Amino acid sequence: MKTLTTTQDLADFCTAAAQHPYVTVDTEFLRERTYYSKLCLVQLAHPGEGDENAVLVDPLADGMSLEPLHELFRNTDVVKVFHAARQDLEIFWIDAQVFPEPLFDTQVAAMVCGFGEQVGYETLVRKICKQGLDKTSRFTDWSRRPLSKAQQTYALADVTHLRKIYEYLAAELEKSGRSRWVTEELTILTSPATYDIRPEDAWKRVKTRTTSGKFLAVVRELAQFREEYAQANNVPRNRVFKDDALVELASTKPRNGSDLGNSRLLLREARKGAISEGILAAVKRGVDCPPENYPKIDKSRDKMQVNPALADLLRVLLKSKTESAGVAAKLIAPSSDLDAIAAGMRDVPALSGWRYEVFGEDAMRLCEGEIALTAKGQAVKVVSLG
């Protein structure tokens, strides 16, 4: 196993990789004690067998620059292959404002090829490579040096098996004509907006039991302060204060340090210094917020008049269509989107792109009364009423 610890060694490998049609990529990182992921290891491999043409890259080595890898990412002649790429892409985008292009995500491709929902890497190794994986090093501290032999073996396996998985799935997609489906799915992963965390919108992730505008104004200010503080100090947002403490503060609306001391849920560190000052200022901004500036909640789905019989028929249709196409049903439409369609909404993903071809077109025909569903044995068939 070869570990690259200099920029020149990385540049040499990337130059060699650029001569091949694809390169497999994975990362190991830590995020338990930071807001942003700390990149600890990058694994790379281009076509070959076993550990051949596969390397570990140590981004923590003195003087190491990942620019040669970023340049490879920009090389559109080489497909960059990941499994469940979202967190990996977030790291590269935040650190270097770069996305791998073109991108291939084997998890997405596997769902399109009928391997089920959110299929794991270990499952694909077992089913496609006919091998097992030793996952004992999965939750180790990747920032510690030197890496153990077990860690290195585990990390390298995440890109060596990926070569065969990619080649198999790419061939299946080519055979079925579904490569475009995967390309459509990956568009969102290479959009900067996917990784743009806006502190002013952080309140939307906080679960509350009330829709009072005044209460939500305080929630919004507290959530924004927490997000900005966490980003500026690179600490997890829950280390500032947790959601249950945020909701408690929005309810009690403390005005001074003494009031903060009465909080049951606030961490000791948050009752003093910059955090306590930020909390009190945020609460005051929320309390003083004029009604016209209260947060607006999207209640459109809450007011939906769902036709339950139609929703049930759509579920039957979806099951039939996805079984026939060999695609994970969850990839087409979650249950909430089926309810939305049954309530007359049309701005849902299932009614556009490749999903429309598989399910959406007949879903619309079902809603319009143009088709019916019949069952014979285990099979469900679509019958035209036109």
Asked if 114 and 331 count as a contact pair (C-beta separation under 8 A), the reply is no
Tokens read off for 50: 């076993």
- Predicted confidence band at 16 (pLDDT cuts at 50, 70, 90)? very high
Tokens read off for 276: 């306590």
pLDDT tens string 172-228: 999 999 999 999 999 999 999 999 999 999 999 999 988 899 999 999 999 999 999
Q: What angle do CA 333, 121, 237 make, to 5 degrees?
A: 70
How far apart, in whole angstroms, are the C-alpha atoms of residue 227 and residue 82? 29
The pLDDT value recorded for residue 386 is 66
Helix axes 243-252, 273-288, angle to 10 degrees: 50
End-to-end CA distance of the chain: 65
Classify residue 305 as exposed, middle or buried by CB count within 10 Å of its CB (0-12, 13-18, 19+).
exposed
Residue 260 host element (H or E): helix 257-260
How far apart, in whole angstroms, are the C-alpha atoms of residue 331 and residue 116? 9
pTM attached to this predicted model: 0.89
**209 Cβ contact partners less than 8 Å away, ≥ 6 residues apart:** none
pLDDT tens string 312-323: 999 999 999 999
Coil/strand/helix, residue 249? helix
How many Cα atoms occupy the beta-carbon half-sphere of 267 within 13 Å?
Answer: 11
